[in-house]
Structure 1
Amino acid sequence: MNYFKKFFFVLILILPASLSAQKNVSFLFDNSGSMLGYYSDSKSTFKTFAKALIKNSLAQGDFASIYLFTKNEPKRGIQSPQKLFSGNSKDLIPDKIISDFKSVKGNDGDYGVTDINEALDAAISDLKNQPAVIWLITDNINDVAGTGDESFLNTLDFYKKLRNDTAIRKILLFPVEEKLSGDLYESDGFVCYGIVYSLTSLSQIQLESYDKIIRASGIKAKPFTLKPLDIGTITLFPKVTQSKVTEGKLFFDGKTLRGFGFDEGQVIKETFPDLVLKSNLFPYIIKNAKLNVRLDNFSSSDYSVKSMGTQTISPSTVSNISPEGEVTGFSVTFNMPEITPNFSFSTIFNEDFTVGGNLILEVSQVDILLDDKYMNSFKEIFALNSVPDIFRPVLKDKKIETSIPLEIRIKYGSWRLFALIGIALLALAVIAVPIFLLTKKSCYKITLLDSDSQSFCISALSSYSVSTAGSPVLGKLKKSVTGSLKFICSSVTDTPGKVFSVSF
């Protein structure tokens, strides 16, 4: 255990309970000749590192694939990559996997050389177009043709693939320094790439989720952010509102800018004086950058926008931010755009409506400087004479955005009450008029032959049976809604069921 303390990369064995979503995880371990010391030297902690990485990176139900790789050379009797495991993580036994960790020799007695691109392509092919987290552990000596200048060129090809392959969405690189020396090897360390592979584009929220998954591996070394550098690498957030939430005041709950109880037409203006800018661009120094704030997707079928208002941030520039540094003291003034609710029957029956959209906090014209002093200490690990271009990106032409959703509820004005009263009166009229016409009674007086006169009152819902003294019912008189009378002959007459109009 004392030996472990000599190395800053010692892994803390942590339970991966937080990684609840089922995922594909692939592990590629370089076992070429240049990695001989890590497989054969009893003082090396490489196998302990590998075991901890596997355990910490997998959650129950994940699909895991574990490979050893050199270069596929059938003539030398070397097959690469060598798949040690493929299946559900619950069936994986890390100790058994580690027991198979051995350097590979060809039938000529020499150790295997390395083709990192070949191994990465093979692992991606096995994914069958499914997204995955890929861990690639290598000393970066891509010696396809043995040692020498061509090895450096092959390593540069690997970096070009990392940078240019659009399906490789995110890369964090953990440099691990472990010096070993033996008769056949001289090693300074290795690197551990945490790669997110996805054929479909990923949102900022998804990339942040993958970032947490990779960092939860337990590697204590600070990772380099290689890709993407323009999504989530510089964040700008208000502090979470700690005071009591009240009506008519905006607050930030950690995810969304919210507010409720505002009146229609009320001027909504709020200043957030406690924003924090955080850089995740390790190991880059932000020399200077410009800050801006604006609204996006500020539209709805519930309302129309007359003007977008003016959003401001102060100060609007920042400079000299150290890697993974934080800067406080920024304030944002939010001015609600001028909006007008759209009239519809659905809005009338709601007490309020919701204003949505996004508050975009934008960092642009970013001028970054690589911490060369830090990088130079790992130059040999990168197996290059100079720091590759992938570590020297240009961000001046890119915008790094932090998007904060808006959810502001505004009460409808007094017009809604008058509209409701009008609708209620109209509804009463629509109901009352037919009822009145149907129930209104009209009175009549009729005389049949020499019989006495008969007086009666009927409505459209009733009728009057007509008969003479001692005779059966001759028929019925009925009144229509319009007031006309009709006589319907009964079955005892010569014309049963016949209808006659009655004039009066």
Structure 2
Amino acid sequence: MRGRTLPSRLSRTALLLGGALGLTLGAAQPALAVPQVVLVQNSGWMEPFYSDPTSQFKPLVAALAGSVAQQGDALVLAAFNQSRPGAPSPKGLLSEKVDAKTVQAHVGAALAGLDLARKPGGAALADTDLGEAVNAAVTQVLQGKPGLVWLVTNNRNSPNNDQATSARNREFYTLIHRGAAIDKALAWPLRMQVQGPHYRANGLMIYVFAVGREGAQALDRLLAAGRIQRVITEPPARLKPLDRDTVRLVPRKVENAPGVDFSMDANGLLRADVAPDARSPSASIRWNLENTIYPYTIAGASIAARSMLGGENRRIALANNSVGRLAPGQAAPLASTMQLPVAQLPGKWSLAALQSAGSAYVLPGRIELQLQGQRLELSQAFRDRMAALFPGDPLPDIFTPPSEIQASTAVLPIEVRVHYGSGPLFAAIGAALALLGLGVGGAYAYARPRRVVLTVEDELRTVHTRAGATQPIYDKAGQQVARLKTTLFGNQLLDLREGAQVRLGR
């Protein structure tokens, strides 16, 4: 085995070469990273891929591993055929913590010496057990934890050289479709014509199985980033799930809703941009309903839709309540009437609107589209492609949808955004400044010193006071004859003693 010892935080990843492959994974992993296992078939049916000098089989695997394995990932590379006493399968070739700069070269070097496996004690080439290999990767390598399992195969599943390949394929089918561990599965049938001394082949299949929700999320990130497409330009065929995200809605036109515009960003987020004075209770929207479940044709299904916005769960009225013969990648027009959450949108003078001035007030939600009585059929074009790449191989049965899957849900995230101008904010700021000015002016007027001129018994006096103050006034004999009260609006004599000669001014 060629490889490097992983750090202790991966619990010293170990390859067990004396029996089934095992990998011990610690809890600490780089953020958003999941371990990846690449299984490469080397049974007898793979003979032309190894013997043809023009074969691009090994370079393809190295390029794929180098593209999908990211910095810091735990990567295991293993060869598989069918396990026998004294000849375990899968058999480890490489285990390392990925360095993005060297991973492709390391995988290529590990594959360089790989050849066809033979049965113990003889010259007969080894048989193939696809289910055994995937099971080992999920239960022993990943130990049931989230991760990605890649399977590179010629699609010949024949344990013990069993010619009843249909039955063996159904076992593989059951593992994928009904196995709880696998959350998502994709496949790429690829053309690769090779000729060996005994066999010839037209193509091979690459599968990826996402284990657990985190594994499915990691696979979605790889697809969104285009890392798989750098090596494989063919679209992926979906094996699982078949009960969600089989269609998507793309808005085409909005009618009878002035001030409302719909758009969709590159990540599939629907945005409804609403003018602050738009108060239409509903909008008529024309959509394209697209089939996103390659390679299946939606032969028929009834459809219903709902919107969840601002705490309101409302039915979306559809012009058509069914869809049929919708081929993969194609779209059908769909008209609808959708209730808008006008009651949940703040007025332009509200605090929320003022806080959002110059940007947008966002009300998140979602649209759910339900397909009931869903009938899926493998498209004829895909059947023809599989027949050309794998003549006589019944494995396309693996693409037959399970009978219990007759419904699916598509969720479209939506943001209702109201764009408030800066006018109300500036007006509010101006009013606040005016009030502040009045307050400051009033405070100054209240606190500033004042001089009041009084005449007491023909004697002119100047009294220093402030607004809000009241002070006594005395005559020449020192007797209190009145009190002077000062306010913001003037002065006043209080408690004037009878006969006292006191007046304001001269």
Would the TM-score normalized by the shorter structure come out above 0.5? yes
Match of 1:314 among 319, 323, 326: 319
Q: Which residue of 2 aligns with 1:169?
A: 183
Give SS of 1:367's match.
Answer: strand
State the shift of 1:337 in Å: 3.1
TM-score (ref. length: structure 1):
0.66
State the shift of 1:78 in Å: 4.3
Q: Which residue of 2 aligns with 1:231?
A: 244
Matched, 1:82 2:95: no
Give SS of 2:161's match.
Answer: coil
State the shift of 1:287 in Å: 1.6
CA–CA distance in structure 2, aligned partners of residues 432 and 382 of structure 1? 93
Q: Is the 8 A contact 2:306 2:367 kept in 1?
A: yes
Q: Is the 8 A contact 1:298 1:358 kept in 2?
A: no
Matched, 1:408 2:417: yes
Q: What is the percentage of aligned positions where both structures have the same residue?
A: 18
State the shift of 1:136 in Å: 0.4
Q: Structure 1 439/119 Cα, relative in aligned 2: closer, same or farther at 3 Å?
A: same
Matched, 1:267 2:276: no
Match of 2:150 among 135, 138, 162: 135
CA–CA distance in structure 1, aligned partners of residues 63 and 126 of structure 2? 25
Q: Which residue of 2 aligns with 1:7?
A: none
CA–CA distance in structure 1, aligned partners of residues 198 and 302 of structure 2? 53
Within 5 Å, give how 1:123-272 maps onto structure 2: 123-124=137-138, 125-127=140-142, 131-144=146-159, 146-148=160-162, 155-176=169-190, 190-200=204-214, 207=220, 210=223, 213=226, 216=229, 218-219=231-232, 223-239=236-252, 248-254=259-265, 255-263=269-277, 266-267=279-280, 269-272=282-285
Within 5 Å, give how 1:87-486 maps onto structure 2: 87-92=98-103, 93=105, 95-109=108-122, 110-124=124-138, 125-127=140-142, 131-144=146-159, 146-148=160-162, 155-176=169-190, 190-200=204-214, 207=220, 210=223, 213=226, 216=229, 218-219=231-232, 223-239=236-252, 248-254=259-265, 255-263=269-277, 266-267=279-280, 269-273=282-286, 275-299=287-311, 311-322=316-327, 324-339=328-343, 346-347=351-352, 349-350=354-355, 351=357, 353-371=361-379, 375=383, 378=386, 381=390, 388=397, 391-394=400-403, 397-409=406-418, 438-439=447-448, 456-459=463-466
TM-score (ref. length: structure 2):
0.65
CA–CA distance in structure 1, aligned partners of residues 179 and 93 of structure 2? 24
Gaps of 5+ in 2: 1-31, 474-483, 492-506
Q: Structure 1 297/128 Cα, relative in aligned 2: closer, same or farther at 3 Å?
A: farther
CA–CA distance in structure 2, aligned partners of residues 369 and 202 of structure 1? 24
Q: Structure 1 353/440 Cα, relative in aligned 2: closer, same or farther at 3 Å?
A: farther
State how many pairs are aligned.
436
Q: Is the 8 A contact 1:24 1:62 kept in 2?
A: yes
CA–CA distance in structure 1, aligned partners of residues 382 and 460 of structure 2? 120
Q: Structure 1 454/49 Cα, relative in aligned 2: closer, same or farther at 3 Å?
A: closer
State the shift of 1:67 in Å: 1.8
State the shift of 1:172 in Å: 1.4
CA–CA distance in structure 2, aligned partners of residues 99 and 68 of structure 1? 12
CA–CA distance in structure 2, aligned partners of residues 339 and 408 of structure 1? 14
- Cα offsets for 1:253-290 (capped at 9, x unmatched): 434323243316x22654444x3332233332222223
Q: Structure 1 172/201 Cα, relative in aligned 2: closer, same or farther at 3 Å?
A: closer
Within 5 Å, give how 1:33-112 maps onto structure 2: 33-42=44-53, 44-57=55-68, 64-73=75-84, 75-78=85-88, 80-86=90-96, 87-92=98-103, 93=105, 95-109=108-122, 110-112=124-126
Give SS of 2:45's match.
Answer: helix
Task: Write the letter of the residue equivalent to 1:81.
Answer: K
Q: Is the 8 A contact 2:35 2:146 kept in 1?
A: yes
CA–CA distance in structure 1, aligned partners of residues 275 and 346 of structure 2? 19
Give SS of 1:76's match.
Answer: coil
State the shift of 1:292 in Å: 3.4
State the shift of 1:31 in Å: 1.0
- Cα offsets for 1:214-246 (capped at 9, x unmatched): 7515445554311112333322212499xxxxx
Gaps of 5+ in 1: 1-20, 242-246, 300-304, 467-477, 484-504
